[in-house]
Amino acid sequence: MTIIADIGIGVLSALVTLAALYIKVIPAMTKELIHDQREFKNNQQLQVESFFHEQGGRDLKRLLNEWTQFITDETKTKNVTPQQFKGYMRDFVIYGSTRSVKLLASMQQYNYGQTDDTGHQQDEDYSLKLVAYVALIVCSLKQDFTGVEITPQMLMQIKLNDFETESEEFGKIVDTINNEIE
């Protein structure tokens, strides 16, 4: 009987030891598993971004240039055809970040809602709001392409010699647009 008791105590002792090791090892293994999953996901995202920037770098640069011209060259806005603008929007969806695409979508929805049945603009601040949209889009594309952050106000200071007279209203419009897309 003592041999059976000794074997039982030995087995019980082994089971307790295994259970203690198991309880001690499980959190570490779980932590390592979560770490590995996050690392895999992050590496995968970096590979996607690297491929995107490598393949789309020239196109994103061209797209940034096209949209910047809307701010810096009045003739660009007057001479762009609807077909060209559709191409800009297509490229925008392909190469723009989520924020950039949200800005474009918001601008287009604003445009669609601003023309009445006679073709007249309904919003008295229509032009200023469109300029704000384009400035925000250029800022977002610059962030996408270069990682450099600029403000729409900076762009307007470059473009307008009387920016101070419109700066407060422009700032409010920019804030409204930013709140709409967040």
Q: For 120-179, what is each residue's pLDDT tens digit?
A: 656 677 888 888 999 999 999 888 888 889 999 998 888 878 888 888 998 999 999 999
- Least Cα distance to 89 among 73, 74, 111 occurs for 111
- Report phi then psi at 180, rounded to 5: -65, -35
CA distance 140 to 132: 12
Indicate the pTM of the whole model: 0.67
149: left (phi over 0), alpha (psi -120 to 50) or beta: beta
Asked if 140 contacts 99 with a C-beta cutoff of 8 angstroms, the reply is yes
Q: What is the pLDDT of residues 43-92, one digit of tens each?
A: 777 776 666 566 667 777 888 888 888 888 878 777 888 898 898 889 88
